[in-house]
Amino acid sequence: MVQTGLKNMMSKINIHNEADVMVISVNNPPINAGSTEVRKGLLDAIQALQNDPNSSAAVIIGAGNTFIAGSDIKEFSQPLAEPHLPTVISAIENCSKPVVCALHGAALGGGFELALACDARIALEGTVVGLPEVTLGIIPGAGGTQRLPRLIGVEKSIEIICAGSRIKADEALKLGIINKLVKEDLLGNAITFARSLIGQKIRIRDVSTPSVEASTVLAATQKALKAGKNRPNIHKAIEMICNAITLPIDQGLAIEREVFQELRVGTEAKALRHQFFAERKLFKALGSDEQKPKRIEQVAVIGAGTMGSGIAIACLSAGYIVLMLDQNEAALENGAKKVADFYDSRVKSGKIAAEKASTILKNFTYSSQWADIASADLVIEAVFEDMEVKHAVFQKIEEYASPEALLASNTSYLDIDAIAAKTQNPSRVFGLHFFSPAQVMKLLEIVRCKFTAPSVIAASLQFAKRLGKTPVISANAFGFIGNRIYAAYRRQCEFMLEEGAYPEQIDKALEDYGFAMGPFAVADMSGLDIAWAMRKSQVGTRNPEHRYVNIPDALCLAGRFGRKTGSGYYEYLEGAKKGVVDPFVHKVIDEASATKGIIRREFTSEEIVNRVLFAMINEIAHLASEKVVSDVTDCDVALVNGYGFPRWCGGPVFIAQEMGKDKLNSEIDALAKLSGPGFIKANLDGLFE
């Protein structure tokens, strides 16, 4: 039997025997992360198995709700402590007794690599397995790129590893990744399975990688690189997987580990870890028992336009009962059709079963009658961006909605406190700023107003979580978080137009850096007239001494509102997916520079990118000092999830912190000189707290 002293040594690993089978249980809640303690405990347990004459086989299982759902990512920023995972895996493979992995919940990353080292894998229905390391800028580092191809082939391994996919247990069974799938009594079934293997070792390392045509590998490689944005770690992952064909496994494992260690300490991996932790803390408040948020099941969306119908779809897909209200019958019918068409297209493309779409749509109603919102737990106003219109809508909402309902405004810029001030109970009013298309975009800004109750914010976080959104909480301030930063970014790009750059050069520099789209392509897509209307409304409050670029106004006066009019910063030929350079735009820009007496100059891509980054960093520092954000890393989350900032660059806050305060101060000072009147340098201390 296992010695009691060994049990006490391993607080994260529990051991007991079921007759001749040793049960090794990982107990490191909440996700049984493969920390140093866990690795040490597993290694001790395998050594105990080898030396215990009463144990003929073992089962490794996770306590609680999951198997090992990944490594302890905090350790990745430090030198990894012994024993490393490959040492544990080697001990399992070299143990003379069979080891079965019993999987439930999730077996991801190092947890899945551990499972691949075992002689068999049995899983409970609903389990997911996968190697998501590429999402953190690294590759599997404990044999994933060598063992998985031996099981399922190189082509499928490239697809799964390079996408960081999570594979459901039934699919894993079909692929041969797991040996058995059970509906209940995972441990009992695993013990029986382990007994059937006594006297055998079935190691994946002893299996030959299936042969594959070079053309098949090339096609899988090209597809993976395109989906993976051609990032260095994707290239390396493919190279390692292909080594499983050409190299002995020990050589392949050694190279894989070396590459993993190099990538782990690189800037890109560090940036992605920064983003990972910034996103992980977003729902932290929900772990507190201080606030019991209101349960939301029925949602009323006011406004049946593009945004209203998108919000309705997002809520329906999350399982909410949804009413969409609009008093314009034609708009209402059109909005309802958009909702129905969305699910119809999902069914036709095979992304959703017809039965599921039908069930979802049974939860959808639409109406022009205000009385129908009475049963809603949450009312989301998504009407035209005009304060008087919104005041009138909220007056109606208060008249007909339940006194217990939460009331949200979906606005990009308007003062929600001014809306709340005209309600009888401002404590239930807050902002939910969705991004278009609302059913697709991950970012959701939750706006905390002056009198919003903490329980309302907690409820909105629960709502965002159920929607599958990435929420950031903002104080009520013009532009909130994302649009405020984006305005500073766009303004700097307009300055560069005056100084010598052209739209296509700026867009290309930023897209090459990693932005999903350049600012002028984005402006054309969203419509130049929208920002123009806002600028016209601010004429009376704009300081005439501040630098103002009138190039966008000149394009609007020429009737160039972007894609919808066939021209904006670019010309859009019929049927073309992208705009083309238009000499007329260059002429407008050249004339604007000449009018101000600006001598145009050449710009490098590096200067363009740096001007944008430092403008963003300065604006984030303003947001921090004004207490618009409580954590500056929320700004990085917002830019990555809502504005196409490259995730692998971490975000402006990450870049600032890596640069250091002294160099950043110098760069912002230089930017202030280039930007001229109106640029206000922020106190940068808030970026480093």
Q: Which residues are catalytic?
A: 113, 133
What secondary structure letter does DSSP report for 293?
Answer: P
By DSSP bridging, strand 21-26 and strand 13-18 are antiparallel
Output the DSSP codes for 64-117: TT-S--S--GGGGGSPPPSSPHHHHHHHHHHSSS-EEEEE-SEEETHHHHHHHH
Q: Do residues 112 and 128 make contact, with C-beta atoms less than 8 angstroms apart?
A: no
H/E run at residue 322: strand 321-325
**Three-class DSSP labels, 508-526:** HHHHHHCCCCCHHHHHHHH
Write the burial class of residue 570 (CB in 10 Å: 0-12 exposed, 13-18 middle, 19+ buried). buried
d(CA 354, CA 535): 46
Closest CA to 95 of 200, 208, 180, 249: 200
Alpha-carbon distances of 369 from 39, 137, 327, 362, rounded to whole Å: 62, 52, 7, 19
Closest CA to 294 of 446, 460, 466, 469: 460
Closest CA to 101 of 25, 163, 171, 33: 25
Tell whether omega for the bond before 30 is within 30 degrees of 0, i.e. cis.
yes
Write the burial class of residue 308 (CB in 10 Å: 0-12 exposed, 13-18 middle, 19+ buried). buried
- 398: tokens are 């208060």
- 319: tokens are 């399982």
d(CA 141, CA 87): 12
Dihedral through CA 108, CA 109, CA 110, CA 116, nearest 10?
A: 70
d(CA 613, CA 88): 44
d(CA 458, CA 204): 47
Q: Which residues contact 152 (CB under 8 A, 6 or more apart)?
A: 160, 175, 176, 177
CA angle at residue 621 from 618 to 622, to 5 degrees?
90
- 586: tokens are 């260059």
